[in-house]
């Protein structure tokens, strides 16, 4: 397993790369099928329920996350592009239970409403290099600064999420 940040990222863009000891098709399925996502997506200690799942350009995944303590949170992906098994492009945001945009539950000042994401899945023998690239969809100086200010926290959060994915992949190989 290996983590690295891409050197060509913009100042605002969050770029994370992780190598998984699993075939690309399996890693892609783990990210694009609801029955897999519930086992690993989200922060550690949070249970995920996929409420709606429509994997196609313009389709939406609506999900809820229940932390061990605290209120249930909602989120959504609006899929933009799917290239099986190479790439998924989506916009994610906090949502309400109806899938409508909602303010971030952490009350982070100037947090962007929507984040543009490009996840690529690169085959390397029987391993997969997953690269996440994210940035505010409608960039403003204040939103960019809030997003940049949370890079370390997001890296830590995705580190835990990727550990869960790694364990899940190992359990189904």
What CATH number corresponds to the domain at position 91? 3.30.530.20
Closest by Cα among 20, 34, 36, 4 to 125: 20
In a domain, 3, yes or no: no
Domain region containing 150: 16-172
In a domain, 1, yes or no: no
CA–CA separation, 44 and 77 (whole Å) = 20
Residue 24 CB neighbours (<10 A): 20
Residue 106: per-residue pLDDT = 87
Contacts of 148 (CB under 8 A, 6+ apart): 11, 12
In a domain, 51, yes or no: yes
Q: What is the pLDDT along the chain (173 residues), one digit of tens a residue?
A: 333 334 445 789 999 999 999 999 999 999 999 999 999 999 998 999 999 999 999 999 999 999 998 899 999 999 999 999 999 999 999 999 999 999 999 889 999 999 999 999 999 999 999 999 999 999 899 999 999 999 999 999 999 999 999 999 999 99
In a domain, 59, yes or no: yes
In a domain, 160, yes or no: yes
In a domain, 112, yes or no: yes
Phi, psi dihedral angles at 84 (to 5 degrees)? -75, 130
CA–CA separation, 155 and 4 (whole Å) = 11
CA–CA separation, 41 and 90 (whole Å) = 15
The number of folded domains in the chain is 1
Q: Is the peptide bond before 90 cis (omega within 30 degrees of 0)?
A: no
Residue 9: per-residue pLDDT = 52
Residue 3: per-residue pLDDT = 37
Q: Are strands 87-95 and 127-136 parallel, antiparallel or unpaired?
A: unpaired
In a domain, 131, yes or no: yes
CA–CA separation, 74 and 66 (whole Å) = 9
CA–CA separation, 50 and 35 (whole Å) = 8
Buried b (16+ CB within 10 A) or exposed e, 85-100: beebbbbbbbbeeebe
C-alpha dist (Å) from residue 30 to 73, 122, 153, 164: 22, 14, 24, 11
CA–CA separation, 156 and 132 (whole Å) = 14
In a domain, 5, yes or no: no
Residue 4: per-residue pLDDT = 36
């Amino acid at each position: 397993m290996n983590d690295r940040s891409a050197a060509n990222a913009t100042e605002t863009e969050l770029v994370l790369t992780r190598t998984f000891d699993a075939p690309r098709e399996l890693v892609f399925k783990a990210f694009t099928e609801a029955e897999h996502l519930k086992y690993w997506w989200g922060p550690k200690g949070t249970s995920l329920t996929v409420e709606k799942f429509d994997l196609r350009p313009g389709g939406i995944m609506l999900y809820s996350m229940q932390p061990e303590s605290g209120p249930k949170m909602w989120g959504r992906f609006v899929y933009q592009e799917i290239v099986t098994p190479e790439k998924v492009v989506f916009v994610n945001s906090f949502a309400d239970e109806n899938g409508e945009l909602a303010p971030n539950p952490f009350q982070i000042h100037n947090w962007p409403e929507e984040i543009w994401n490009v996840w690529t899945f690169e085959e390397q023998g029987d391993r997969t290099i997953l690269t996440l690239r994210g940035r505010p969809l409608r960039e403003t100086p204040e939103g960019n600064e809030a997003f940049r200010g949370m890079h370390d926290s997001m890296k830590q959060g995705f580190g835990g999420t990727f550990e869960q994915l790694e364990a899940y992949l190992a359990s189904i190989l």
